[in-house]
């Protein structure tokens, strides 16, 4: 077990992610329950979900599966994603957080959430507003600790400063993406989290399937409607070139690419836990089979030569992009103001 930042909570190096439980992945609720139970039986005590996964069905499935075992699990969920057409049913306002937490508690069948995370940055909401609402939930006993997800490093620091100056609960964890192919967090986010004593649970350690070896250079991409949101990611030539170099490296080390990728992720001292997101029992068993894998320095050095430390070979399509990049009016002066004096 590893320390979850400075919360005093102990968690397993693998965290069971549940995005694939429900209509977005595995619609068989009984099978989903078996996946949850198998993960717990294997020693995983950390489970992560979100209110938006499968339109909240993931929380319902998880809540049912955890009956009788809730006290043995460190349960994490998230708030912020849109939960309907009403623009106020989402985001990080006090108004929505106080509603969303009650909905999550009901769906999960529990009276407390061990780690309540803000799923994405919300540029329209003052961070003090968000932290104030989350602080009240901690003081009410509904939430044990709070965390962030997908925050740029500047916003991680800002949130810590605001919490300190206003006497509010501070984010105890951050949840960024991290894999052999996306190592950008090594440059600033991981050192910053370490400086503030934050735990780090990373998502997509298998790069949305690219690090399983299923997607190869020159092969036709499988047509899967569930994966439409990672189409650009799966066809990124830089990533495919790296995969072609990683496969023989894994083979020489006597490992599958999946086991190499997972072992790489949890080898970083700044990473607390890596989130695995199996859709089937077979996928879970494959990941569990490599749980004891430890990479030696020679293999890690070889990975560094394939993908330079601190670099992202390309974005994952679902990663957060700030409005300063997506909105042209925030990066272009009006035409009449572009002429130099």
For residues 86, 176, 14, 47, the Cα torsion angle rounded to the nearest 10 degrees is -20
The residues facing 10 across adjacent strands are: 3
Whats the size of the chain, residue-wise? Answer: 341
Active-site annotation holds for 53: yes
Cα–Cα distance between 2 and 44 in angstroms, integer? 12
The pair phi, psi for residue 37, each rounded to 5°, is -65, -40
Q: 128: Cβ–Cβ under 8 A, 6 or more apart, which residues?
A: 162, 166, 168
Q: Which DSSP string do the residues of 161-175 spell out, in sequence order?
A: HHHHHHT-----EEE
Q: Collapsing DSSP states into helix, strand and coil, what is residue 280?
A: coil
Say whether 200 sits in a helix, a strand or coil: strand
| CA–CA distance, 316 with 230 (Å, rounded to integer) | 7
Write out the DSSP string of 136-186.
HHHHTTSEEEEEEES--HHHHHHHHHHHHHHT-----EEE-B--SSB-GGG
Parallel/antiparallel/unpaired status of strands 2-3 and 74-79: unpaired
Judge contact between 282 and 36, C-beta under 8 A. no
3-class SS of residue 216:
coil
Catalytic residues: 53
């Amino acid at each position: 077990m590893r320390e979850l930042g400075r919360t005093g909570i102990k968690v397993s190096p693998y965290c069971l992610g549940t995005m694939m439980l429900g209509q977005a992945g595995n619609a068989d609720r009984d099978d989903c329950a078996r996946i949850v139970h198998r993960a717990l039986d294997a020693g995983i005590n950390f489970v992560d979900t979100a209110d938006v996964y499968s339109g909240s069905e993931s929380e319902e499935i998880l809540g049912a599966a955890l009956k009788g075992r809730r006290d043995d699990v460190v349960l994490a969920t998230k708030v912020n994603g849109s939960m309907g057409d009403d623009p106020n049913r989402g985001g990080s306002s006090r108004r929505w957080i106080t509603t969303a937490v009650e909905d999550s508690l009901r769906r999960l069948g529990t009276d407390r959430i061990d780690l309540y995370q803000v799923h994405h940055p919300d540029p329209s909401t003052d961070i003090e507003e968000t932290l104030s609402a989350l602080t009240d939930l901690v003081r009410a006993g509904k939430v044990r600790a709070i965390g962030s997800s997908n925050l740029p490093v500047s916003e991680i620091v800002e949130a810590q400063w605001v919490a300190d100056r206003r006497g509010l609960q501070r984010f105890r964890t951050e949840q960024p993406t991290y894999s052999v192919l996306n190592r950008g967090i090594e440059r600033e986010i991981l050192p910053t989290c370490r400086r503030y004593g934050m735990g780090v649970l990373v998502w997509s350690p298998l790069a949305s399937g690219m690090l399983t070896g299923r997607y190869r250079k020159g092969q036709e991409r499988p047509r899967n409607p569930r994966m439409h949101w990672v189409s650009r990611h799966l066809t990124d030539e830089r990533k495919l070139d790296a995969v072609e170099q990683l496969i023989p490296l894994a083979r020489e080390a006597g490992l599958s690419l999946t086991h190499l990728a997972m072992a790489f992720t949890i080898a970083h001292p700044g990473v607390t836990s890596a989130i695995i997101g199996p859709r089937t029992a077979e996928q879970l068993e494959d990941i569990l089979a490599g749980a004891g894998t430890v990479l030696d320095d020679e293999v890690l050095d070889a990975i560094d030569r394939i993908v330079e430390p601190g670099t992202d070979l390309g974005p994952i399509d679902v990663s957060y992009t700030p409005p300063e990049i997506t909105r042209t009016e925030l990066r272009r002066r009006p035409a009449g103001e572009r002429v130099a004096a």
